[in-house]
């Protein structure tokens, strides 16, 4: 997650890009390539498709530089643009889901029970938690939690990314967390503890 100082720094670089400094775009490319690649691999197992979409994203940015507007969060803007770029490729190649179900069947998350930041009391409980997250949650629930806990996006950004209403995003995450708390008796845990727990299971995007 970017802090305020980083956001201001990157916004300044973006402004230089809009003003005609092509080296500024190169800086953005190298700074965010790994983040974009890891994010793209959540939506497709085809690394070449992801790499092509990233390249096309930056080619489009350069081609349409004079049409670009200031952004408040470059990371969010780039990830959303990459998701749209992959949706465009999906329509061309039909390797991904039909339009209207953005990323649903292809969204992929890697988990690591060994890296848990919280000491879950028994191996059996740890296994049950991992099984529920990987098998019981819907594709959309997984994506919403990933965007919240790994990417650090707020509900408005999650809604834009998933093409749903803010209320739907908020409700989806609330109900999912409530179900997990009730299933594993975590009602007494704070949101900070849950944040740490999910961060340990969701492979980092940054």
Show pLDDT as tens, one digit a residue, over the chain (206 residues): 566 777 788 888 888 988 888 889 899 999 999 999 999 988 888 889 999 999 999 999 988 888 888 888 899 999 999 999 988 887 776 644 444 444 444 566 554 444 444 444 445 656 666 777 777 788 898 889 889 888 889 999 999 999 999 999 999 999 988 887 777 665 545 555 555 556 555 544 44
The ranges of the chain annotated as CATH 1.10.1740.10 are: 4-93
Burial 3-31 (b: 16+ CB within 10 A, else e): eeeebeebeebbebbbeeeeebbeebbeb
Q: How far is the first Cα of the chain from the last one, in angstroms, to the nearest whole number?
A: 7
Which pLDDT score is estimated for 188?
47
Which pLDDT score is estimated for 135?
77
pLDDT 10s digits, 5-60: 777 888 888 889 888 888 898 999 999 999 999 999 888 888 899 999 999 999 99
Which pLDDT score is estimated for 170?
94
Which pLDDT score is estimated for 205?
41
| CB of 150 closer than 8 Å to CB of 205 | yes
Which pLDDT score is estimated for 199?
57
Residue 84: other Cβ atoms inside 10 A: 15
Going by C-alpha positions, the residue among 150, 71, 74, 156 that lies closest to residue 107 is: 150
**CATH number assigned to the domain with residue range 113-201, chosen from the 4 options 1.10.10, 3.30.70, 2.30.29, 1.10.3470:** 1.10.10
Alpha helix (H) residue ranges in 41-190: 47-63, 74-93, 123-131, 139-149, 155-162, 166-184
Which pLDDT score is estimated for 79?
94
Name the CATH topology of 4-93.
Rna Polymerase Sigma Factor; Chain: A (1.10.1740)
- For 7, 48, 61, 79, 94, the CA distances from 57, given in Å and listed in that order, are 20, 14, 6, 10, 19
The ranges of the chain annotated as CATH 1.10.10 are: 113-201
Which pLDDT score is estimated for 200?
53
| CB of 160 closer than 8 Å to CB of 169 | no
| CB of 192 closer than 8 Å to CB of 117 | no
């Amino acid at each position: 997650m970017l802090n305020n100082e980083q956001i201001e720094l990157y916004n300044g670089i973006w402004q230089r890009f809009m003003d005609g400094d092509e080296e500024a775009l190169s800086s953005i490319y190298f700074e965010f390539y790994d983040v974009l690649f890891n994010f793209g691999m959540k939506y497709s197992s085809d690394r070449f498709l992801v790499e092509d979409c990233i390249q096309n994203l930056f080619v489009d940015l350069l081609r349409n530089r004079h049409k670009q507007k200031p952004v408040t969060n470059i990371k969010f803007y780039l990830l959303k643009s990459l998701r749209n770029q992959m949706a465009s490729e999906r329509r061309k190649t039909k390797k991904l889901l039909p339009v209207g179900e953005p990323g649903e069947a292809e969204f992929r998350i890697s988990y690591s029970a060994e890296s848990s930041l919280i000491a879950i009391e028994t191996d059996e409980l740890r296994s049950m938690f991992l099984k529920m997250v990987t098998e019981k949650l819907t594709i959309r629930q997984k994506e919403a939690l990933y965007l919240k806990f790994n990417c650090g996006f707020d509900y408005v950004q999650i809604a834009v990314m998933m093409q749903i209403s803010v209320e739907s995003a908020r409700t989806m995450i609330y109900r999912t967390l409530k179900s997990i708390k009730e299933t594993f008796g975590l009602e007494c845990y704070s949101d900070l503890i849950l944040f740490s727990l999910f961060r340990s299971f969701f492979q980092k995007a940054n």
